[in-house]
Amino acid sequence: MALTKTQHSRLEHLLDKQYDELLEQVRSALEQSENQQYIELIDRAPADSADQAVGDALADLNLAIIDRHVLELRDIEAARVRIREAGFGICVDCSDEIGFERLLAYPTAKRCFNCQRQHEKTYAHEGHTTL
């Protein structure tokens, strides 16, 4: 059954809310990273290698979080394109409708539950090197 106008509107609102929240988190993380750089410039006390390693790990973690948020923002933008092009709620693999409950839980879903499960089985190890 196709999404009703009420369901469609609710999902659009949810996407907009998530987008705004993620954008704020990215801005906040960037501001914090800039502040941390200024603090480090002011406090140029010699640090041991363990302090430097912890600082590097925190910087890497901060960048990873920002990267994850940016990917989520792109997913939301792609969902907005699907809304404009009337492809929202339609599985990109089988062209069946994606259930409202699934979209409510995961508004950027591109696949129905069955196709997503198959996609994850097929591509679960992609991008991971093996020996």
Q: Which two tokens stand for residue 89?
A: 């709620």
Domain boundaries, the chain: 5-123
pLDDT-derived band at 64 (thresholds 50, 70, 90) equals confident
Residue 42 pLDDT greater than 60, yes or no: no
Which CATH number applies to 5-123? 1.20.120.910
Higher pLDDT, residue 124 or 73:
73
User: CA-CA distance, 35 to 71, in Å (whole number)?
Assistant: 24
Q: Crossing angle of helices 5-42/49-84, nearest 10°? A: 160
